[in-house]
Structure 1
């Protein structure tokens, strides 16, 4: 498991941001901790037909649950200005007020797990695809160019391995067969020239 910090700016959708993180990282995990407040909270109370929506300065008390590329299951509790505690199943529409900082624990990426499973089940007499993807990419959570690069690789069906960026290095950093080609702009240029076709999954 690796711990991933996630900072949300004012106006960010709490649930959508966690869904996006799981999709970008292509990994499952769970929320380890959260500090922050909301301007609006949307949550499903037990037995209610529609979500409850609160507005104001709402302090987040807890956020627990799981996330994966297929979706999230999260339970939120919060306090309003009268110190009344509310809670339920987190729904889209919960907007950050001043900011929120989360720590998310991510398990082994589903893509890597699927690759290892396929390799283990393949016949020993049949040639196997290389287990190590030819493309490696260093990204940082919250970086729009990292999101664009990951979206392009997923859309084109190009296997890739995620690594942690250096502390002060720019992101994304994209490597083909271990050689740095640059960032998102260089990736887009190669796509425009048709040079990414050879990297696509067969």
Structure 2
């Protein structure tokens, strides 16, 4: 494992900075440590509903999770001025107040570059390529939920550019468009995603 330091200045978006780091390193890794504070925090609690956004002076207590070329999956805990502790999935829009210093452990061997989504109607991708491709946009809560579901289930996936006319997320299995988050969740509920691991 190779340690990679990340120093963020005021106004930096914590989530997006780690997404950029994962893409730049082109290898999976883990957040090893963090010290810093935030002026705004966007986080997703378990269950339905969109992200919660708080503004103020918040001290980061912990940040755990994975970083890689396909995205991030991060859990944040932080405290407010009354030492009340909050936590959940880190979302875009969490802004650094004065500064934040992070250490990310990146695996020595780089991961293969992302593969584009196959065209509709094409046969399944060649061996070693993900059968699932997904198009997302930053800040979209349903995109974040779909990515979280795929990561939690351990399903390999490639990130692709969204179709201009469509909403996100856009999910493709073996090159065939199946729909968005609801369609993915329905297939998960029927147990149809386990074969994609």
Q: TM-score range by the shorter chain?
A: 0.5 to 0.7
Corresponding residue number in structure 1 for 2:83: 83
Give unpaired runs (5+ residues) of structure 2.
Answer: 114-197
Mapping 1:145-160, distance limit 5 Å: none
State how far apart, in whole Å, the 2-side matches of 1:82 and 1:48 are.
27
Mapping 1:118-133, distance limit 5 Å: none
Corresponding residue number in structure 2 for 1:54: 54
Larger Rg: 1
Q: 2:25·2:68 contact (CA, 8 Å) conserved in 1? A: no
1:78 to 1:6, Cα distance in 2 relative to 1, 3 A: same
2:38 paired with 1:2 = no
State how far apart, in whole Å, the 1-side matches of 2:8 and 2:99 are.
6
Which 4+ stretches in 1 moved above 3 angstroms?
Answer: none
Give unpaired runs (5+ residues) of structure 1.
Answer: 113-202
Corresponding residue number in structure 2 for 1:177: none
Tell me the CA shift for residue 111 of structure 1. 3.5
1:133-155 deviations in whole A, cap 9, x for unaligned?
xxxxxxxxxxxxxxxxxxxxxxx
Tell me the CA shift for residue 4 of structure 1. 0.5
Corresponding residue number in structure 1 for 2:22: 22
Tell me the CA shift for residue 67 of structure 1. 1.0
Mapping 1:37-186, distance limit 5 Å: 37-107=37-107, 108-111=109-112
State how far apart, in whole Å, the 2-side matches of 1:75 and 1:84 are.
17
- Matched position secondary structure for 1:109: coil
Tell me the CA shift for residue 48 of structure 1. 3.7
State how far apart, in whole Å, the 2-side matches of 1:101 and 1:35 are.
5
Corresponding residue number in structure 1 for 2:33: 33
Corresponding residue number in structure 2 for 1:181: none
State how far apart, in whole Å, the 1-side matches of 2:29 and 2:20 are.
13
1:38-59 deviations in whole A, cap 9, x for unaligned?
0000000112411111110000
Tell me the CA shift for residue 8 of structure 1. 0.4
The number of equivalent residue pairs is 113
State how far apart, in whole Å, the 2-side matches of 1:48 and 1:102 are.
30
State how far apart, in whole Å, the 2-side matches of 1:104 and 1:7 are.
11
State how far apart, in whole Å, the 1-side matches of 2:36 and 2:42 are.
15
